[in-house]
Chains A and B, each alone.
Chain A
Amino acid sequence: MGSVSEIDLTSADDAAAQAERAASFVPGPRSAERELPSRVVSSRVSLRVRISDLWHARELFVFLVRKEVKVKYKNSVLGFVWSMLNPAIVLMVYYVVFKYFLKSAIPAFALFLFSGLIAWNLIATALPGSSASIVANAGIVKKVAFPREILALAQVGTASVFFFFQSIVLALFLIGFQYAPAWSYLPVLLFALVDLLILTAAIAVYLSAVNVYYRDVEHLVAVLLQAAFWGVPIIYSYNTVYGLLTKHHLLWVARLYLADPIVPILLSFQRALYGHVSPVVAESTAKAVMYHGHPAIQYGTQLAKLPVLANYPYHFYVFMLACVFVVAVLMFLGAMVVFGRIEGNFAEEL
């Protein structure tokens, strides 16, 4: 590639030809009858206009995502394989540690882990990048007019591309180990994915704007994501938490736990991808879990056979996800409003 840097400008011979071509590149005459689009620049732009501007910039979104994906693995030999390799290695480490060192009682632990981790990875990939996105692109933000939310959303889009690659790994994993997902729960899985994307987008847009004022945010996000990872049921099962909390008469905390919008999404992923294996926890864990015969543990009386997953009915999953959907959409609109308020001062703060 080094040779390219010694580029000479046009030689004298083809200067004439180029002049000809350049001369032909003239814009057409204005048509006076054409209805001109009108636009208002002011400090108060309605949410509806903002969202329609976003929609009109969807091609830009695609180009930005393409750029991110291309640039990320440019000049690396394995290229986008890294996006599969990276979570695969993380998965392997967790698997070995929890299965063999910490003796997790969950059967087919790798699949359980994977089904939650894949959803979590989308958030964990998107948020650090998106929170820094406005600051990182200060050059364009200060010089070009476009809906700036796109920069944060493009990071979510990029994370979705990697999510797609990881889904391929997951699919291979399922085929390789002959696990069948719960096919009937596929609509739930897709619904959960939609929720996940909207939720991530909402947080991403909000953080990207706040980060312009408090540069701590991008560092804080990394730390909080670490903490949050252990706070949601990915490595342990939701039923373990539920059991422990009810044991200590803290049912309301368990309800609150479910109110974390990420938890229903993770549960849906696990139910769809792992649920069909109809696994049971071993007796020792079952004892700890089995208390008060709460509805989540259907087989409460059978000491030896307890499901890993909460045995919620189908419609309860749909209900939870619908709640999350409403919350996520409201969060997204709220984030857009906050973004709009702050945006006017981006150019001076950057």
Chain B
Amino acid sequence: MSVAIEIQGVSKRFRLYHEKYTSLKERVVHAGHVPFEEFWALSEVTAEIAAGQTVGILGRNGSGKSTLLKCIAGILQPSAGQVVVRGQLAAMLELGAGFQPELSGRDNIYLNGSLLGLSRRDIDRRFDEIVAFAELEQFIDNQVKYYSSGMYVRLGFSVAVSVEPDILLVDEVLAVGDERFQQKCIDRVQQFQRDGRTIVVVSHSADMMRDICNTVLVLDRGHMVTMAPVGEAIRTFRERLIESGFAPPPEPEPAVAGAAPVEIAPRRRQVKISGATVEYARQEERPYIETGEPIAVHVGFDVATPMAGVQFKISLVTEREAIVFSSTGGSAIEEMALDPGHGTVTFRFDSMSLLDGRFAVVVEARDTGGVVLDILDPACHFEVMNPGRAVGIVGLPMRVELTPPGTWP
């Protein structure tokens, strides 16, 4: 297997100025003693990325992952070492960077396309596709300054993917646009994967990595910690976080948490979730369950055509839209083959450890590729009452021990 990107001992030094002097006067006045600290954003990073792999660069904020991506892209030059890139490369660091608000969408496609390295003929050939993908047929001759932010980003993404690169660099830009367009972007990235192109993704979200990457490169304060298969690398990353005293940040999952109703293209509605109900003991008597009681969620669905590899995913969401629990497809729930007709899938929680509050149930059906077939947000609600004294969202099993000299009263 050939190597697409060779990172050879790359180091990048930044100067952190305590006060930045950018004018001539200031520089003359402060000549010789401009206070700055040297800061190595990257030190001696060496790695090889094989062609066709999807590689994640994982690290905390400030660990140098974006710097590394920019070095690969050629936006930053490393202070030492070099990066050898084989194949045409496109970087999506910011969608629509360089759009001129005064120019029309059409002019901007040409300008942006050539900025990304497309020739005029390439753009001519792909122009209609770019416009169709961005869904901007009617507005392509309007000035970009009149575009909504969603339209702006769609056009940016559309131009960026039209480069058809051998290597695609992505910097957490996929969380853009409305949900439907996000899905389209993810589909597109998966298409790239199937085509055997090399993708490098930067993120601090381990879950996103788990979803799409084969291999993950973990960075910590500019040093490469490991480059390993995704599961192993994420474990190392988490261990590092705990060692250095950082709690992993809560991961908001955009696919479910968004308040906006999700539009699903009609062609995807091969499986339709008709509704969901909860079932628990003494349901007629009280509108809540107590912490620790079992609960079942029945999800009804209709299937239009026979489908294999359907996964159902359930998420429990607090009123403030924090996801308490989400079953990831593939691991928790098996893929199932469905025949046409109406059916029910039941999720059983033997002991509901949630504490007080009202929770929403979100149900999603996906196919093998992770494409959302249908989503019901919220599918239903249930309330939990906590008879104990603990506060918070989840009741965790816990014991208390005391070593003398003290005693309980």
Residues 126-148 of B contacting A (Cβ, < 8 Å): 129, 132-133, 135, 138-139, 142-143, 146-148
**In the complex the two chains form, is B23's CB within 8 Å of A216's CB?**
yes
Cβ-based interface call for B89 (8 A): yes
B150, A15: Cβ atoms under 8 Å? no
Cα distance A30–B266 in the bound complex, in angstroms: 30
Give the docked Cα–Cα distance between A298 and B117 (Å): 57
Please, how many angstroms separate the alpha-carbon atoms of A1 and B104 in the complex? 12
A7 touches B85 (CB 8 A): no
Q: Is A27 on the interface with B (CB-CB < 8 A)?
A: yes
CB distance from B58 to the nearest CB of A (A): 21
Q: Is the CB of A60 within 8 A of B88?
A: no
Cα(A153)–Cα(B178), bound, Å: 39
A-B pairs, 6 with minimum CB distance: A42-B82, A344-B77, A145-B74, A140-B98, A143-B97, A216-B24
Q: Are A144 and B184 in contact (CB under 8 A)?
A: no
Q: How far is the CB of B334 from chain A (nearest CB, A)?
A: 28
Q: Is there an interface contact between B191 and A26, defined as CB atoms closer than 8 Å?
A: yes
Asked if A146 is at the interface of the complex by the 8 Å CB criterion, the answer is yes
In the complex, A40 has a CB within 8 A of chain B: yes
Asked whether A67 is an interface residue with its Cβ less than 8 Å from the other chain, the reply is yes
Instruction: Give A215 to B26 CA distance when docked, in angstroms.
Output: 11
In the complex, the chain A residue whose C-beta lies closest to that of B24 is: A216
Are the C-beta atoms of B116 and A144 separated by less than 8 Å? yes
Q: How far, in Å, is A205 (CB) from chain B's closest CB?
A: 17
User: A40 and B114 in contact (CB under 8 A), knowing A145-B91, A347-B76?
Assistant: no
Contact flag A30-B97 (CB < 8 Å), given A41-B71, A42-B78, A60-B115: no
Give me the interface of B with A, judged by CB distance under 8 Å: 14-15, 22-25, 27, 70-89, 91, 93-94, 97-98, 100, 102-103, 107, 110-111, 114-117, 119-120, 129, 132-133, 135, 138-139, 142-143, 146-148, 150-151, 161, 164, 166, 178, 184, 191-192, 195-197, 263, 265-267
Expressed in whole angstroms, the minimum distance between the Cβ of B85 and any Cβ of chain A is 5
Q: Assess the A144–B97 pair: CB atoms within 8 A.
A: yes
Which residues of B are found within 8 Å of A67, using beta-carbon distances?
100, 103, 107, 111
Contact flag A144-B91 (CB < 8 Å), given A16-B267, A214-B22, A214-B27: yes
Does A348 lie within 8 Å of B82, measured CB to CB?
no
Asked if B263 and A343 sit within 8 Å, CB to CB, the answer is no
Q: Which residues of B contact A24 (CB under 8 A)?
A: 129
A residues 328-350 near B (Cβ < 8 Å) are: 343-344, 347-348
Given contacts A27-B164, A216-B25, contact A63 B74 (CB under 8 A): no
Produce 1/0 per residue, A1-33, CB < 8 A to B. Answer: 100110101100001101111101111111000
Interface centre among A15, A22, A216, A344 (most CB of B within 10 A): A22
How far apart are the CA atoms of A350 and B3 in the complex, in Å? 33
Q: Name the B residues within 8 Å of A43 (CB-CB).
A: 77-80
- In the assembled complex, the Cα of A41 lies from the Cα of B83 at a distance in Å of 5
Q: A19-B265, A19-B267 are in contact. Are A41 and B25 (CB under 8 A)?
A: no
| Contact A39–B89 (Cβ < 8 Å) | yes
- A sample of 24 cross-chain residue pairs with beta-carbon separation below 8 angstroms, ordered by A number, consists of A4-B139, A4-B143, A7-B147, A9-B135, A15-B266, A20-B267, A27-B161, A27-B192, A29-B195, A39-B86, A41-B73, A41-B83, A41-B84, A43-B80, A60-B114, A63-B111, A63-B114, A66-B107, A67-B103, A67-B111, A71-B100, A214-B24, A214-B27, A344-B79
| With A70-B107, A140-B97, A348-B14: A42-B135 Cβ-Cβ less than 8 Å | no
Q: Check: A142 CB closer than 8 A to any chain B CB.
A: yes
Q: Which residue of A lies closest to B93 (CB)?
A: A143
For B197, what are the chain A residues with a Cβ–Cβ distance below 8 Å? 30
Q: Is the CB of A39 within 8 A of B85?
A: yes
Question: Which residues of A lie under 8 Å from residue B15 when comparing CB positions?
Answer: 348
The answer on a CB contact under 8 Å between A18 and B132 is yes
Identify the closest chain A residue to B184 (Cβ).
A22
Report whether B191 and A40 are in contact in the complex, using a CB–CB cutoff of 8 Å.
no
Query: Bound state CA distance, A74 and B144, in angstroms?
Result: 13
Given A7-B139, A7-B147, A18-B135 in contact, is the A41-B78 Cβ separation under 8 Å?
Answer: yes
Q: With a CB–CB cut-off of 8 A, which chain B residues contact A19?
A: 265-267
Closest to A21 in B: B132
Q: Is the CB of A70 within 8 A of B98?
A: no
User: Are A10 and B135 in contact, CB atoms less than 8 angstroms apart?
Assistant: yes
The answer on a CB contact under 8 Å between A41 and B146 is no
- Whether B115 and A59, one on each chain, are in contact in the complex, defined by CB atoms closer than 8 angstroms, is no
